[in-house]
Structure 1
Amino acid sequence: MTSASSRGYALGASDAERARLIVQHDIYRGEAASLAEHIGLRPGSHAVDVGCGPLGVLDLLTELVGSSGRVVGLDSEPRMLDMARTTLAERSITGVELVCDDLLDDDLDAESFDVVHERFLITNLPYPRDVVSSMTRLAKPGGYVALEDIDCISWTCHPPHPSWGRLSAALLTAWYAAGLDAYVGRKLPGLLREAGLVDVGLDAHVNVWRPGDPYQKTLPHFVREFRERILRLSDLTEQEFDRCLHELEAHLDQPTTFTLYNTLIQAWGRKPE
């Protein structure tokens, strides 16, 4: 989850986070391609990936707009853009403009892109309406704003385990205390309509993970990252936190245990001409 504003992105810009985000890119490439088909991204288009992080969907956008198009990767964290330069070079992707800027500063030219895209940005920021409004400002008349974000409605494991319940509830409490909305995915179409967009569309995807899969242990990963906040805001002691984490990881390693991940909600809307 990469943020256009480093003030709101709690997971930082470490090499480990870069690796996680690259895996995330590979996992969701098919869904991103489906979204691009919905909005009719074509050669010659101008597209910006807001909160691109170390890759985002820059490779896909570059493929689809071709040499006659324009692709911009926007992120406010310089370290993320350094990672993006490395990743693009590793994958021999050329022609991408990388811009270090906070989307809300409105420094990019208005109405200059056919497609304005974000993925897992809004869920990391406490001001989603402002984000969508700024994205809409960047879209040309007739252009599209495309959103991809999470909704925690489906995030669970089976068979159930009490440590999953305690840790997931504590994590959501920490998120909400930071002004973040773990269920923002379902609100994306409404945000687009509020911004004045029309022809709003919607799609949803849920992945199933099993032991050994890259996101089977995403909940333990996130609760470790938010450990201090969780201990400060919940009734968990340090000993209970560690015990729950150990028990949950052992449960997730069982061959019969699977997890349903957060629902990926995709929503898109067209700016009236």
Structure 2
Amino acid sequence: MTKLSQMYDASAAGYVLGHGKEELERLTQQGEFFRHFTESVFHNAGLRPGMRVLDIGCGAGDVSLIAAGVVGAEGQVVGLDRAPDALQAARNKVAAAGWSNVTFVEGEIHEVEHDRFDAVVGRFILLHMRDQAKTLTRLKQALKPGGVMAFIEMDLTTASVYPPMALFDQALGWIVECYRKDGVDVDVGSKLFSLMSAAQLNPLVTASTRVSAGETTDQACDYLAETLRSLMPRIEQLSVADPNQIDLATLAQRLKEQARLDNSCFFYPRMVGAWGALSNMQ
């Protein structure tokens, strides 16, 4: 028996956004934002019907469901996470979608048979790891010879708005400072090629940026405000900002009003996808 928790937890920095109801809803919205890019990375990485896939740090299950759609009913997806609330949300989504071949494992408790996976995938998980290179090396143990590893990460500091908006810059700055004080790597996307190369995975890399303008700017404002809402406990604990200064109750509306006044165009953080195959000799 191999404990997947040993692969996942050894280098974890912790998920600073928590797993409350509002955060799980934000994750679902985030999952829709980046669904198409995630599907594209998985297809390019070589995921195909019949594969058995491990989704590391699966959270509320959005990536697991995307993988299930790629590998089909003849394949299998196992999602691993340490948060029971997130896993329950994931199980509810899977049940609603009618998938019977997607299962979830609470990483700090359960054990999984020592067979290998055809692919290991993850989205927005390496940024929470203290030692990303070590994590990737350990995850190789879960791959069959010739198996595929595919990860999607972001470069948070690349998020921007045009014309420039002081309120947006301030809100993004609070998020970045909070993450950095908590040991989160806010720009790990740019490092994916080097990290996977060091793990001898010979990676290929692609990138994409989601853009919101016109009628969709409200989505960008809400997403930014909800991210801050999830981070507020840590923002206060780490003395990043005074809650009165942030004024979370009015933040989304203030962002929207400024966006309408400026006819703003929002650029989400750059998404980077990288994938590589384990040598048949490894």
What TM-score comes out, normalization by structure 2 length? 0.83
Greater RCO (Cα-Cα under 8 Å, separation 6 or more):
2
Matched, 1:186 2:193: no
Which one of the candidate residues 217, 220, 223 is aligned to 1:218?
A: 223
Q: Give the aligned residue type for 2:21.
A: D
Cα distance in 2 for partners of 1:106, 1:92 equals 24
Deviation at 1:107, TM superposition (A): 4.7
Q: Which amino acid aligns with 1:209?
A: S
Question: Is 1:25 matched with 2:35?
Answer: no
My pick for the range that moved more, 261-270 or 21-30, is 21-30
Task: Mark the runs of 5 or more structure 2 residues left unpaired by the alignment.
Answer: 1-7
Contact preservation (8 Å) 2:49, 2:72: yes
Q: Provide the alpha-carbon RMSD of the alignment.
A: 2.7
Letter of the 1:57 counterpart: V
Residues in 1 aligned to 2:99 and 2:170: alpha-carbon distance in whole angstroms: 43
**Which residue matches 1:204?**
207
In the other structure, the counterpart of 1:158 is 162
Residue 94 to residue 254, structure 1, CA distance change in 2 (3 Å): farther
Partner amino acid, structure 1, of 2:107: D
The within-5 A match list for 1:38-57 is 38-57=44-63
Answer 1 or 2: which has greater helix percent: 2
CA distance in 2, matches of 1:8, 1:29: 24
Residue identity in the other structure for 2:197? R
Q: Secondary structure at the match of 2:61?
A: coil
Q: CA offset at residue 43 of structure 1?
A: 2.1
Q: For 2:49 and 2:242, how far apart are their aligned partners in 1?
A: 56
Letter in 2 for 1:204: A
Q: Secondary structure at the match of 2:86?
A: helix
Bigger drift between 223-232 and 235-244 goes to 235-244
Q: Which sits farther off after the overlay, 131-140 or 223-232?
A: 223-232
Q: Is the 8 A contact 1:126 1:178 kept in 2?
A: no
1:16 pairs with 2:22: yes
Mapping for residues 99-248 of structure 1, pairs under 5 Å: 99-102=105-108, 107-109=111-113, 112-198=116-202, 200-210=203-213, 212=216, 213-230=218-235, 233=238, 236-242=241-247, 245=251, 247-248=254-255
Contact 1:111–1:137 (CA under 8 A) maintained in structure 2? no
Aligned length: 267
- Percent same amino acid among aligned pairs? 27
- CA displacement at 1:95 relative to structure 2: 1.4
Identify the residue that residue 3 of structure 2 maps to in structure 1: none
* 2:259 corresponds to which of 223, 237, 252: 252
Contact 1:206 1:262 in 2 (8 A): yes
Give deviations 1:218-267, integer Å, cap 9, x for gaps: 33222333335445656754443339947445323547122100111101
Asked whether the 8 Å contact 2:163–2:265 carries over to 1, the reply is: yes
Q: CA 1:134–1:208 in 2, change beyond 3 Å: closer, same or farther?
A: same
